[in-house]
């Protein structure tokens, strides 16, 4: 990248022809000596090559006559050297043919056609390949010939001709520190053609009057490169890598257009990114920056992978927005680095590129940060509109224009004024980016994220201009254009322009009704989970419309299991995806893909519309505005004209919703009042858990009757052939639980087929399932089940042992290193057990430690058992309470409903709330998490707030995190006020493997009425009440019954065994099944 040498002045005394000839002869001799030394070094290093390549690099077109002379002279010397040895002549002629083909030629046609024809005849024997842009001259000779003394004549002729060709190159300069900053090779004007003039130019260009032969680019035998040769060859590779990377990015975007090819498109994009990085590493001028690059690259990679691996699928929108911000920040840093480079010089184009690139980059950065904050809840999702918003925007743009003009002026560019202009303009665009996104509501975030994606592409292109990197420019243009097109498509999906979205101010907080649209009226028809399942049993075609509520409830995994169950019985199931469903372009597609929903049943809105009347049941989960009939029927509605999925045209529509609250638009939804619409209120995950369980129990009653294409088929279930299972290669052991009061078994008979499909056989301890109501014969009828007489026999023979509770010490001592034992227990106060486990070579898995993330939903035994615990706790409490649960009017007077207070709105708490509400009780609830209020209200209960700031969102693992002392004091004061009025208090505040906090004090117990009941579901971890005793029911001096039952799932042993057995089966599937058990699967995040 050194500047061109100054033009040669007219008064420079040109050397005579004799001087030029002598210089050429001297230079050729030195060059031959260098090549011989290189050959000697190869021999001393014991490098044995079948042939030797001699390459002189150049970057412009070679002289056709020089190249032709080189080959002709070389052929003549070889012929004289080899004499009459036919065998050797054949070998060398073959090598020379290769050499001739690898000599890159640009042969201009002469004005004499006959001369050209004669030259063509002379060269026909060599079958030349002509390249209009040669990069080097190469001569390949056999190694044996290169070692002969006579080879020097051939070498001399070739080197002399190559030097002439090199001198005839144009616009090729480089610096060499060995020559005190002098030029190695000079750039000659295009008019300098003769070879002697070329050599003379080389001498004139060197300040010392002599050209060091070590500076001549030479590549010998594939072993050694000079720096200039590496640069010359590397530039070709950079272009190749960059071009390949750009084309692959285009292929990647095309692959992402379809579900079936999206994975391949993702892989192609990864490879393209890797090629782009390689193109930087091999580019000229990178010099010794590799170490610095690798440090930064590996550090950033570790941070990026760490963040991405910890983020749940529901938080993917804010992750994408956050990563977009770093693209903008990179553009800002690239602009700063270029401007503050001490070797940089002023140029108007460079200045303009710098300030535009930093402006776009900072706009992308600040806008993406605000978008991520809105999506995460750190910034309120409602539109935040400043009263002087437009004055700030217009003033900022005007100021930015003035600063840009000042910065691009040569008078201020390199001064402190220029620095101030650049920094001030960057700050202004940071404010413009934040002010652009703040007024936009949370539900418009899909459009905003897509638009910010386009801005990140512009920032990338800006970096490409600033760094003179074609790949960045091309890639940025691809991202910018695709992001813009996607934004336009999504705006069409909500019948709004991109300008309207950016104006902001549209929408309200969830659950707040606003004026707009005709008020819907009429009764709302509720449906129970049992009736919902009854509709599914008779349905032949089902369409499901997911919305953002699906992501909030984290129930995609359970939904996928319901879909799989229906499809396995011939029911046709499709998903209809609205373009703006969720908080990210393609948000619903990503969630369904993560749950392994088949791509072919996920359809776009337009593809589903014509067939909607043919569906027996439409299921709407967590969607509102995208299924609102007002978009088609009410011209006064703010959302009129927006495309909607017309689920009301289906025969029956079931809406899963927490409450009757409006959607983002604030417009009431007339869909809920239609005759063919039924509402299933409650938390979607809890509702789908119940539906899945009921559907699984009644699956023999599913009518189905459709094939995959939707065509009717005959009912062949009665004559269905037996399933063909793989040959078992590993044994799963099931032993009887010996913990007092435990009636569950790790595997129920219904789970055996799933294990057999994975290649497992089952070894069952005799009578292991009897406490849960399963006889040994029920297991044996499933096939591949052997019954052992004792637990010892099972422990000695099984590859995998499954237990409901923790391993006992004698069981651990019997395990071998190749075995795996899976259990489910609380880690609190298990030091003796942990010490024993540390001594065994077997693999021990505690299912209670599985993280509560979407990926592990099927393994979440804690949730399965907590559902039962909350349900049974309410039944047990009312069994002890000496009064009605519901209100009643009798001849003896009116009876008010019982009052139930649930502390902790986790899975167990939600189950308890739903059960108590179903029994007619007046239910109150509290949780430290602010988001729990909506869940409580959706189940028909009243949320009891604490007069202190609680937790926004959830803590680690989906549990509430620790609160401060001020909040704890306010919390206890609230409970002290509420508890005396309650008939039943159910506490569920417990984080697995930690001591439970004290929430119901002895003073609160004394304040309760006689006959009241406390159920402490945290008794296994010390209890939320100091009077609780694990696995005991006690009565306080004031007559309050305190239940400390720690194993409510054992009260429903059969159903609990089915549920936890499915969790165990899901774990074994995650670990690779019998054929590929363990190994790398242990590292599955």
Would you name the residues annotated as active-site residues?
625
Positive or negative: CA dihedral 385, 387, 388, 390: positive
Among 605, 462, 607, which residue's Cα sits nearest to residue 546? 605
Measured CA to CA in angstroms, residue 92 lies from 95, 154, 890 at distances of: 5, 13, 116
DSSP state of 213: G
Measured CA to CA in angstroms, residue 631 lies from 50, 520, 548, 663 at distances of: 78, 13, 19, 13
DSSP secondary structure string, 267-284? HHHHHHHHHHHHHHHTST
Contacts 24+ apart (CB under 8 A), 5-11: 5/173, 5/183, 5/186, 5/187, 5/205, 8/204
Phi, psi values for residue 178, rounded to 5°: -70, -15
CB-CB contact of 914 with 935 (8 Å): no
Contacts 24+ apart (CB under 8 A), 47-50: 47/221, 47/223, 48/143, 49/143, 49/221, 49/222, 50/142, 50/143
For 947-969, give the secondary structure using H, E and C. Answer: CCCCECCCCHHHCCCCCCHHHHH
How far apart CA 791 and CA 797 sit, in angstroms, is 10
**Biggest distance spanned by C-alpha atoms of the chain:** 135
Phi, psi values for residue 157, rounded to 5°: -60, -40
Q: What angle do CA 752, 534, 753 make, to 5 degrees?
A: 10
Q: What angle do CA 150, 156, 158 make, to 5 degrees?
A: 110
Among 318, 415, 298, 458, which residue's Cα sits nearest to residue 374? 318
User: DSSP 3-state assignment of 135?
Assistant: coil
User: DSSP 3-state assignment of 733?
Assistant: strand
Please count the other Cβ atoms lying within 10 Å of the Cβ belonging to residue 176. Answer: 18
Among 438, 412, 441, which residue's Cα sits nearest to residue 425? 412
DSSP state of 1076: T
Q: Give residues with Cβ within 8 angstroms of 468, minimum separation 6.
A: none
CB-CB contact of 103 with 136 (8 Å): no
Positive or negative: CA dihedral 453, 455, 457, 459: negative
DSSP state of 75: H
Output the six-digit token pair for 612: 């909607």
Output the six-digit token pair for 443: 């539900």
* The total number of residues written for the chain in this structure: 1085
- Residues forming a β-bridge with 259: none
Q: What angle do CA 877, 882, 888 make, to 5 degrees?
A: 100
Alpha-helical regions (H) of 662-769 = 684-697, 752-757
CB-CB contact of 38 with 222 (8 Å): no
How far apart CA 275 and CA 258 sit, in angstroms, is 24
Positive or negative: CA dihedral 670, 674, 676, 679: positive
Kind of pairing, strands 51-57 and 136-142?
antiparallel
How far apart CA 45 and CA 38 sit, in angstroms, is 11
How far apart CA 279 and CA 297 sit, in angstroms, is 15
CB-CB contact of 87 with 94 (8 Å): no
- Residues forming a β-bridge with 653: 618, 677
């Amino acid at each position: 990248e050194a500047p061109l040498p100054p033009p040669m002045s007219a008064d420079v005394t040109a050397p005579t022809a004799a001087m030029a000839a002598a210089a050429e002869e001297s230079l050729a001799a030195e060059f031959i000596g260098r090549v011989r030394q290189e050959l000697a070094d190869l021999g001393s290093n014991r490098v044995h090559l079948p042939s030797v390549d001699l390459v002189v690099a150049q970057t412009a077109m070679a002289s056709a006559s020089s190249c032709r002379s080189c080959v002709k002279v070389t052929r003549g010397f070889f012929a004289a050297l080899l004499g009459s040895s036919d065998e050797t002549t054949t070998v060398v002629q073959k090598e020379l043919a290769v050499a001739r083909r690898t000599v890159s030629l640009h042969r201009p046609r002469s004005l004499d056609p006959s001369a050209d024809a004669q030259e063509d005849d002379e060269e026909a024997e060599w079958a030349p390949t002509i390249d209009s842009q040669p990069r080097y001259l190469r001569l390949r000779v056999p190694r044996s010939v290169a070692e002969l003394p006579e080879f020097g004549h051939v070498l001399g002729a070739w080197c002399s001709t190559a030097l002439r060709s090199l001198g005839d190159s144009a616009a090729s300069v480089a610096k060499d520190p060995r020559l005190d900053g002098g030029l190695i090779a000079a750039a000659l004007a295009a008019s300098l053609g003769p070879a002697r003039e070329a050599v003379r130019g080389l001498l004139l260009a060197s300040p010392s009057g002599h050209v060091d032969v070590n500076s001549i680019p030479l590549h010998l035998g594939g072993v050694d490169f000079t720096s200039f040769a590496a640069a010359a060859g590397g530039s070709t590779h950079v272009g190749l890598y960059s071009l390949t990377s750009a084309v692959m990015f285009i292929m990647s975007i095309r692959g992402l257009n379809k579900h079936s090819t999206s994975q391949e498109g993702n892989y192609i994009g990864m490879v393209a990114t890797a090629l782009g990085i390689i193109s930087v590493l091999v580019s000229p001028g990178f010099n010794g920056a590799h170490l610095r690059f690798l440090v930064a690259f590996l550090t950033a990679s570790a941070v990026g992978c760490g963040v991405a691996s910890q983020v749940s699928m529901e938080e993917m929108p804010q992750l994408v927005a956050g990563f977009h911000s770093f693209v903008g920040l990179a553009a800002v840093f690239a602009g700063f680095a270029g401007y503050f480079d001490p070797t940089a010089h002023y140029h108007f184009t460079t200045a303009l590129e710098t300030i535009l690139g930093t402006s776009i980059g900072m706009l992308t950065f600040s806008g993406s940060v605000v978008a991520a904050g809105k999506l995460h809840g750190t910034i309120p999702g409602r539109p935040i509109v400043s009263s002087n918003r437009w004055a700030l925007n217009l003033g900022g743009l005007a100021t930015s224009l003035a600063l840009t003009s000042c910065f691009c002026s040569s008078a201020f560019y390199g001064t402190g004024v220029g620095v101030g202009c650049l920094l001030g303009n960057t700050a202004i665009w940071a404010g413009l980016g934040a002010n652009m996104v703040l007024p936009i509501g949370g539900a418009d975030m899909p459009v905003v994220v897509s638009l910010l994606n386009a801005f990140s592409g512009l920032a990338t292109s800006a970096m490409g201009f600033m760094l003179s990197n074609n790949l960045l420019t091309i890639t940025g243009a691809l991202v910018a254009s695709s992001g813009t097109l996607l934004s336009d498509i999504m705006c069409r999906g909500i019948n709004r322009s991109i300008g309207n979205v950016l104006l902001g101010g549209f929408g309200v907080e969830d659950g707040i009704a606003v004026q707009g649209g005709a008020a819907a009226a009429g009764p709302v028809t509720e449906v129970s989970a049992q009736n919902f399942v009854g509709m599914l049993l008779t349905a032949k075609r089902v369409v499901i419309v997911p919305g953002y509520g699906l992501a909030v409830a984290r129930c995609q995994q359970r939904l996928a299991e319901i879909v799989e169950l229906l499809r396995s019985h011939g029911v046709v199931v499709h998903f209809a995806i609205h373009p703006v469903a969720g908080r990210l372009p393609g948000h619903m597609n990503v969630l369904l893909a993560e749950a392994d929903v088949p791509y072919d049943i996920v359809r776009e809105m337009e593809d589903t519309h014509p067939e909607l009347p043919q569906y027996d049941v439409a299921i709407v989960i967590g969607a509102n505005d995208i299924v609102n009939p007002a978009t088609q029927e009410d011209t006064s509605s703010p959302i009129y004209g927006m495309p909607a999925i017309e689920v009301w045209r289906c025969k029956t529509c079931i809406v899963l919703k927490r409450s009757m609250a409006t959607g983002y638009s604030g417009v009431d939804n007339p869909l809920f009042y239609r005759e063919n619409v039924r509402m299933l209120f409650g938390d979607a995950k809890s509702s789908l858990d119940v539906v899945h369980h009921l559907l699984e129990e009644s699956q023999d009653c599913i009518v189905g009757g459709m094939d995959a294409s939707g065509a009717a088929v005959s009912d062949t279930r009665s004559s269905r052939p037996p399933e063909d299972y793989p040959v078992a290669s590993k044994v799963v052991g099931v032993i009887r639980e010996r913990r007092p009061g435990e009636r569950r078994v790790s595997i129920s008979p219904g789970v055996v087929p799933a294990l057999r499909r994975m290649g497992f056989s089952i070894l069952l301890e005799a009578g292991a399932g009897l406490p849960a109501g399963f006889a040994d014969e029920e297991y044996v009828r499933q096939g591949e089940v052997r019954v052992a007489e004792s637990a010892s026999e099972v422990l000695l023979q099984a590859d995998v042992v499954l237990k409901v509770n923790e391993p006992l010490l004698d069981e651990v001592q019997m395990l071998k290193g190749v075995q795996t034992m899976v259990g489910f227990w609380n880690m609190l106060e298990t030091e003796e057990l942990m010490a024993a486990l540390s001594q065994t070579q077997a693999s021990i898995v505690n299912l209670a430690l599985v993280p509560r993330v979407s990926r592990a939903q099927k393994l979440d035994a804690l949730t399965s058992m907590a559902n039962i615990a909350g349900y049974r706790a309410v039944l047990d409490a009312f069994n002890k309470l000496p009064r009605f649960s519901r209100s009643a009017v009798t001849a003896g007077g009116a009876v008010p409903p019982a009052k139930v207070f649930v502390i902790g709105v986790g899975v167990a708490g939600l189950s308890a709330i739903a059960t108590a509400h179903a029994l007619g009780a007046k239910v109150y609830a509290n949780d430290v998490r602010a988001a729990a209020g909506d869940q409580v209200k959706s189940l028909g209960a009243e949320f009891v707030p604490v007069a202190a700031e609680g937790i926004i969102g959830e803590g680690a693992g989906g549990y509430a995190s620790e609160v401060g002392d001020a909040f704890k004091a306010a919390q206890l004061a609230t409970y002290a006020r509420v508890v005396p009025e309650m008939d039943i208090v159910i506490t569920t505040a417990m984080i697995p493997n930690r001591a439970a906090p004290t929430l119901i004090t002895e003073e609160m117990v004394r304040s309760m009425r006689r006959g009241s009941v406390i159920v402490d579901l945290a008794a296994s971890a010390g209890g939320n009440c100091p009077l609780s005793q694990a696995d005991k029911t006690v009565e306080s001096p004031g007559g309050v019954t305190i239940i400390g039952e720690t194993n409510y799932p054992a009260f429903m042993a059969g159903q609990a065994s089915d549920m936890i057995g499915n969790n165990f089966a899901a774990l074994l599937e995650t670990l690779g099944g019998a054929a590929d058990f363990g190994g790398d699967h242990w590292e599955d995040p």
